[in-house]
A and B are shown apart, each in its own frame.
Chain A
Amino acid sequence: MAADATVLSGSLSAPSVPKELERAPLVRNHRPIGWISDRICAINEGPTPAWWWVAFVISVGMMSTCFGMIAYQISTGVGVWGNCHPVMWGWPIINFVWWIGIGHAGTLISAILFLLRQKWRTAVNRAAEAMTIFAVMCAGIYPVIHVGRVWFAWWLFPIPNANGIWPQFRSPLMWDVFAVSTYFTVSLLFWYMGLIPDLAVLRDRAKTKIKQFAYGLFSLGWTGSNRHWSNYEKAYLILAGLSTPLVLSVHSIVSLDFAVSQLPGWHTTIFPPYFVAGAIFSGFGMVLTLLIPIRKICGLEDIITIRHVDLMCKVTLATGSIVGYAYGMEVFIAWYSGSPYEQFAFYNRAFGPYWWGYWTMIGCNVVIPQLFWFRKIRENLLVVFVISILVNVGMWFERFEIVVTSLHRDFLPSNWAVYKPTLIDVMTYLGTFGLFFTFFLLFMRFLPVIAISEVKGVTPQADPHHPLGGARHGGHHG
């Protein structure tokens, strides 16, 4: 049997790759697979660093502000916000769409890139999925408090109530309830399933009884059995297959909240793909914002390499360009429709009272990401970091433009007004960053930031047909 395999692999060996076409390895410096566990677990096992405490205290403070603002809003009423006729969807909906959009990169990385066999995803998927879950938590707050009388928010769910009436499923707002709650639940399941083998790594390394118990409990008795891996990999593939249509549907349904209405500026068929591209664009912005400092602080330069950053910049460039195309097409269709209301909505966006928002959006989302065409820019981490933040500034202004400019001047000029947010709006929004970072810091402290077993699996040492994986002759994977 072994002899046959040797003959086969010998005859199948591929011609060697020319030097200039060789790809940078996914894990640099030929790190052995044991080093990968040591490096990643060291982040959880070492003493709590001082920067962590500083960041954590600030985040908890901001999170408390968020809860304080929400308590004030609930006890006083939605009047504490800037939402006022005709702009009844102000910052809460802008922030809802913004946060949920950010989540999309995590699922794209974990699901779509998995189906496309993009092995580089293994270094970033864990942190990106955590980002998704925490971003969706931040997003989920807004629709609930936006209903005004929060104690009736459960009417959104099909639960029998004393009035004997049911939710109205012809409304896209109900579709949204199902889309967002499914998105959160499935992202959590996917994330947890990916964590099981890595929790077993932490369990086997744990020195204290508490850690052994906690990691042991949540790793469910994982032994790394190949009979288990076989079912595990199938389940992972199915979850990736299910999450792919899920991630595309969630932001499509969010866009239908707008597109199904009759309002000029909202009533367009381009919205679903345009929203999905924008969501992935902003999500990759956030992944870069988070991972560039993390790789430095946690000493993960050999695992999250320049090549990873480079590839993420390319995805940002591609999705940013799709978003730019959508902006252009919206304007074209507004002109081509011949509808004066539609034409006015877009003229008003670019040259009305909120012109600065529109041009910030164009600058940050369409113009600046074009710098990613240049390798020098993609490999300059400081520049990438700044651009990644600008991407999310731009995407926030996109949602601001869509929500506010469409509402503030619609059909009847007597109905027009100018919208201004209040301090409560601003503080609630800043507070959600506290919520996000509190959870993210806890994640960094107690869970493996990188999918250990998945990164091990993409090294040459993990390939039984590679000389480093123990094959006696270089195999066809060589």
Chain B
Amino acid sequence: MSTAYGIIAEFDTPAGAMHAAEKVRDAGFRKWDVFTPFPVHGMDKAMGLKNSKVGWFSFLGGVTGYTTGMLMIWFMNRFDYPILIGGKPMFSPFSAFPPSYELTILLGAFGALGGMLILNRLPRLHHPLLKHKRFELVTHDKFFLVIETADPRYDEAETRKLLESTGSPRIELVEE
């Protein structure tokens, strides 16, 4: 039983990491990732990632916000305690619109942030990579590609050979 978490390859440039990602994607790996100090344009395609699903969370939040606003105002000003103000209708979608619009945005924004965190499984208090000394440079100026040992195609010698062929100057094993 190996205690290795995965094999990590370091790159100096975004292009280096991207070409490596294309190779790893084409080799059919599933449990692997690229780590960069900033989002690299084109990396999603190089990794073969699908469009992010965050939009659905935000959409759900927005719909909830708008419905809540409209129903709340109808309930309060028309149903539960109607007060006549200057002969205006007890409920009008027009005067109820601004608060409902703001609630749409509010819950839509919570949906976007919450959706991002849920899809990314964050917050996460511990990660094997964060213990790896060299990995500290991921927030500085280095680019990393990690293939996990949990991947069905993982084979220590073969995987290392694949990563060596990408031109990475530094390949190491990461402990669990």
Minimal Cβ-Cβ distance residue in B for A238:
B112
Among the stretches A68-76, A372-380, A451-459, the one at the interface with B is A451-459
Contact partner of B120 (CB less than 8 A), chosen from A192, A232, A470, is: A232
Residues of A with Cβ closer than 8 Å to B? 1-2, 5, 32-34, 37, 158, 164-170, 172, 174-175, 178-179, 182, 185-186, 189-190, 192-193, 197, 200-201, 203-205, 220-235, 238-239, 242-243, 245-246, 249, 253, 256, 453-454, 456-457, 461-465, 469-472
Contact partner of A221 (CB less than 8 A), chosen from B26, B44, B126, B135, is: B126
* A174 CB contacts on chain B under 8 angstroms: 99
Give me 5 other A-B pairs in contact (C-beta within 8 A), A186-B109, A204-B140, A226-B33 excluded.
Answer: A37-B139, A226-B39, A228-B120, A249-B101, A465-B41
A456–B37 contact, CB under 8 A? yes
Query: Which residues in window 50-67 of B have CB below 8 A to A?
Result: 51-55, 58, 62
Contact partner of B52 (CB less than 8 A), chosen from A234, A463, A464, A465, is: A234
CA distance A463 to B125 in the complex (A): 31
* A167 CB contacts on chain B under 8 angstroms: 76
Minimal Cβ-Cβ distance residue in B for A186:
B109
Q: How far is the CB of A467 from chain B (nearest CB, A)?
A: 9
* B72 CB contacts on chain A under 8 angstroms: 158
Contact partner of A182 (CB less than 8 A), chosen from B80, B85, B102, B136, is: B102
Minimal Cβ-Cβ distance residue in A for B99:
A178
* A170 CB contacts on chain B under 8 angstroms: 77, 85, 88, 92, 95
A186–B106 contact, CB under 8 A? yes
Chain A residues touching B, majority SS? helix
A224–B139 contact, CB under 8 A? yes
A471–B15 contact, CB under 8 A? yes
Q: How far is the CB of A410 from chain B (nearest CB, A)?
A: 19
A166–B81 contact, CB under 8 A? yes
30 cross-chain CB contacts under 8 A: A1-B26, A2-B22, A32-B141, A33-B140, A37-B37, A158-B72, A158-B76, A175-B98, A179-B98, A201-B37, A204-B136, A204-B140, A221-B123, A221-B127, A224-B139, A226-B35, A227-B47, A229-B39, A231-B120, A232-B116, A235-B54, A249-B98, A249-B105, A453-B37, A454-B38, A461-B13, A462-B38, A462-B40, A464-B41, A470-B12
In the complex, which range does the number of interface residues on chain B fall in? 35 or more
With known contacts A222-B122, A223-B129, A224-B36, A246–B113 Cβ distance under 8 A: no
A227–B120 contact, CB under 8 A? yes
B13–A469 contact, CB under 8 A? yes
Q: How far is the CB of B83 from chain A (nearest CB, A)?
A: 6
B44–A226 contact, CB under 8 A? yes
A462–B122 contact, CB under 8 A? no
Q: How far is the CB of A188 from chain B (nearest CB, A)?
A: 10
Contact partner of B33 (CB less than 8 A), chosen from A168, A185, A225, A456, is: A225
* A37 CB contacts on chain B under 8 angstroms: 37, 139-141
